[in-house]
């Protein structure tokens, strides 16, 4: 059983550049979540997919952020015109719709540094 995987693990970019992260959930998990975690804080919810439908977006997700899950499997998170305040760990999680559907399993995260 492979867990949630995320790529890249680290990304350094210059302010103003666009970046894209990928998340591969646990196979057959139909729910996928994106969170952001800054140093010394707990993860903060960004957005959520059930299959390919994006059902909720946090107010933290400005219009520079876009997430997709085109075939209900992997997901991408794109940040356009990055700012230094975007520097954080971006975490992806997935869960099944069975039993305790609340159980979210996290990937290792993508650490973004904007210089």
Partner 1 sequence: QQQVKQSPQSLIVQKGGISIINCAYENTAFDYFPWYQQFPGKGPALLIAIRPDVSEKKEGRFTISFNKSAKQFSLHIMDSQPGDSATYFCAANPSSNDYKLSFGAGTTVTVRA
Q: Residues in the site for partner 1, rule: CB under 8 A?
A: 4, 6, 31, 33, 35, 40-45, 48, 50, 55-56, 91, 93, 100-109, 111
Nearer residue to partner 1 within complex by CB, 31 or 86: 31
Provide the minimum distance between the beta carbon of 12 and partner 1 in the complex, in angstroms, as a whole number: 15
Which tokens sit at 80?
A: 């356009």
Nearer residue to partner 1 within complex by CB, 83 or 103: 103
Provide the minimum distance between the beta carbon of 16 and partner 1 in the complex, in angstroms, as a whole number: 27
- DSSP class of 70: T
Provide the minimum distance between the beta carbon of 113 and partner 1 in the complex, in angstroms, as a whole number: 14
Nearer residue to partner 1 within complex by CB, 4 or 114: 4
Provide the minimum distance between the beta carbon of 94 and partner 1 in the complex, in angstroms, as a whole number: 11
Instruction: Count the helix, strand and coil residues of the chain and give each as a percent rounded to the nearest 5.
Output: 5, 50, 50
In the chain the beta strands, taken as DSSP E runs, fall at 5-7, 10-13, 19-24, 31-37, 44-50, 53-57, 65-68, 75-79, 88-95, 105-106, 110-114
Nearer residue to partner 1 within complex by CB, 17 or 113: 113
Neighbouring C-beta atoms of residue 22, cutoff 10 Å: 14
């Amino acid at each position: 059983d492979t867990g949630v995987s995320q790529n890249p693990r680290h990304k350094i970019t210059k302010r103003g550049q666009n970046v894209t992260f990928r998340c591969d959930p646990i196979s057959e998990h139909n729910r996928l979540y994106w969170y952001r975690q800054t140093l010394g804080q707990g993860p903060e919810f960004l957005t959520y997919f059930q299959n390919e439908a994006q059902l909720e977006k946090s107010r933290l997700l400005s219009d520079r952020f876009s997430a997709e899950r085109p075939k209900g499997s992997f997901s991408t998170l794109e940040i356009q015109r990055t700012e230094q305040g975007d520097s954080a760990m971006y975490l992806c999680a997935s869960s099944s719709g069975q039993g305790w559907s609340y159980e979210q399993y996290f990937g290792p995260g993508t650490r973004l540094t904007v210089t």
